[in-house]
Structure 1
Amino acid sequence: MGVGNTTGTAEIEIAGSEIEYRVVESADATQPRIDVDIHEVKVVVPENGAVDPHEFIRENTDWIARKWRKYDEYRDRAPDRTFEPGETFPYQGDDHTFRVRDVDEHGITDDEIVLAKHAVKESSIKDELEALFREQARTLFEEVVEEHADEMGVEYEGLAVRNQRTRWGSCSPKQNLSFNWRLIMAPPEIAEYVVVHELAHLREQNHTNRFWRIVREQLPDYRERANWLEEHSVDLIFTEDDL
């Protein structure tokens, strides 16, 4: 949520391996937390210095080890994208075969993604497909945000679609919403969950019990959606650069 200041890096031995972790002090943090993703281990602590981040890491090595093993499996499951016509990509939860054809503009049907040949020649298949997905993602997020913001009685300043590699969404202290364009590859209800999650932060900044009550009131099945995202996020990798 908030802006943090990196205070340094250190290493700790977990399950026989030396793992580097980053320490970040955050003005928004009221409790310490550990973030583990495919790229790094990060411990976020309040700026008041009341928590020793290195001791906090040592107290949670078993949990970190489980998370780290999950991301090792994640790397092994990552799809190998070649960006050749005839390859399939997920789009809103369904596999679509993409083609390059002599058409005026890109388009998406029930089972195909069609890229315009003239645009591909000036750029590349990868860049044009990403641009199309970004465009579709913005349309989806704008619609879903407007629907749920009104129902939840919250207001936001702006909406951005970003190339976030380790986050699906964020809500800044200035009430700006950001979403990962790769969510256009997930079923629509998963993108909806991420939207509601970030909108709930406009009412409750941290992941308190009150925060999750807000989410549950809007989406009673939010746990199933969150579990799907954790289990299938590997399927939303676009290129090897995402790893």
Structure 2
Amino acid sequence: MAKSQSSDRRTIELLGNRIEFGVRQSSDATKPRIDVDIHGVTVTVPDSADVQPTKVLRENAAWVIEKQRGFEKYREEIPDRTFETGESFPLLGTDRELVIEPARSHTITNTSIRLRKSTVEQSTVKRVLENVYRREARDHFAERADYYAEQMGVEYEKIEIRNQRTKWGSCSTTGTISLNWRLMMAPPEVVDYVVVHELAHLREKNHDDEFWSLVAEYDPEYEAHAEWLNENSARLIFTEDDL
């Protein structure tokens, strides 16, 4: 494993904006690299090179500012959820009222998500609600994957329910389809797009013309569905703490 270490956070002024950033030295890096994500700005520099991180940032100032503003806008779009009775949570694109009540089990109706009160009291509303979403995801994703796998003439090994920060799905070389449980908050046609996308990788590994032609065959509106995910991904975050 390559050795690496991170320094304390620093600050720099770029184009009139005060930016906080971190520096990471890596024996794997062959040239400086700037990473900007929801958590901030990091400059990775090679161990052996005499590189000034501030110089690298100034040379790419406009790009850094643009990327950071994009993530700031993303953070602002994350719903301010309270996880209290009466709040609405989307399930397959339909807002449903959160109800906490004495009951034998958690149930879902066309208009509500109903959590068993005793289970919530032993945990937290957020944790119990996430478990309900994961349970629903396991059943729904498997049903949709089975349907499209038969249509597409492919076989997958298994479905894994994940919570990737930056991915909605992935397909391993062994045929395991990993899908993000938070997709259960998206409309069903968007879920189907991600399922088709990952199953298509069982026939076409790369995102080439053949791959997208295959996706389009089973989801003619895939571009609109991909755009919905791009524009609404912040709405599928439970809280900012999950980032």
Alignment TM-score, normalising by the size of structure 1: 0.76
How far apart, in 1, do the equivalents of 2:36 and 2:201 lie? Answer: 21
Unmatched tracts of structure 2, length 5 or more? 7-12, 29-33, 43-59
Distance change in 2, residues 1:185/1:216 (3 Å): same
Letter in 1 for 2:108: I
Which residue of the partner structure matches residue 121 of structure 1? 121
CA distance in 2, matches of 1:206, 1:40: 30
Matched letter for residue 180 of structure 2: N
2:108 aligned partner: 108
Equivalent position of 2:233 in the other structure: 233
CA deviation after TM superposition for structure 1 residue 156, in Å? 1.2
Shift of 1:168: 0.5
Q: 1:146 to 1:61 in 2, by over 3 A?
A: farther
Give 3-state SS (helix, strand or coil) of 1:156's partner. Answer: coil
Instruction: Tell me the amino acid that sits aligned with residue 73 of structure 2.
Output: E
The count of residues paired between Structure 1 and Structure 2 equals 216
* SS of residue matched to 1:238: coil
TM-score (normalizing by structure 2) = 0.76
Larger Rg: 2
The answer (yes or no) to whether the contact 2:78–2:239 under 8 Å persists in 1 is no
Residue deviations 1:108-137, cap 9 Å, x none? 111111101111122221111111000001
> Aligned residue for 2:138?
138
RMSD: 3.2
Return the alpha-carbon distance in structure 2 between the equivalents of residues 64 and 185 of structure 1: 31
Alignment of 1:46-195 (within 5 A): 66-195=66-195
CA–CA separation in structure 2 for the residues paired with 1:94 and 1:147: 22
Counterparts of 1:137 and 1:162, CA distance in 2: 10
Output the CA distance in 2 between the equivalents of 1:21 and 1:227: 33
Q: Identity percentage over the alignment?
A: 49
Query: Residue type of the partner of 1:197?
Result: H
2-structure distance, mates of 1:20, 1:78: 25
Which residue matches 1:209?
Answer: 209
Unaligned runs of 5+ in 1: 26-33, 43-59
- Residue 223 of structure 1 aligns with an amino acid whose one-letter code is E
Aligned partners of 1:219 and 1:62: how far apart in 2?
A: 37
Q: Distance in 1 between matches of 2:83 and 2:222?
A: 33
| Distance in 2 (alpha carbons) for counterparts of 1:64 and 1:199 | 35
- 2:75/2:240 contact within 8 Å kept: no
User: Which string of whole-angstrom CA distances, capped at 9 and with x for unpartnered residues, describes residues 124-177 of structure 1?
Assistant: 211111110000011110010001111111111111001212110011121111
Q: Deviations over 1:5-45 (max 9, x none)?
A: 989799xx98665767999x9xxxxxxxx997535789xxx
Q: 1:177 to 1:40 in 2, by over 3 A?
A: farther
Asked if the contact 2:200/2:211 (under 8 Å) is kept, the reply is: yes
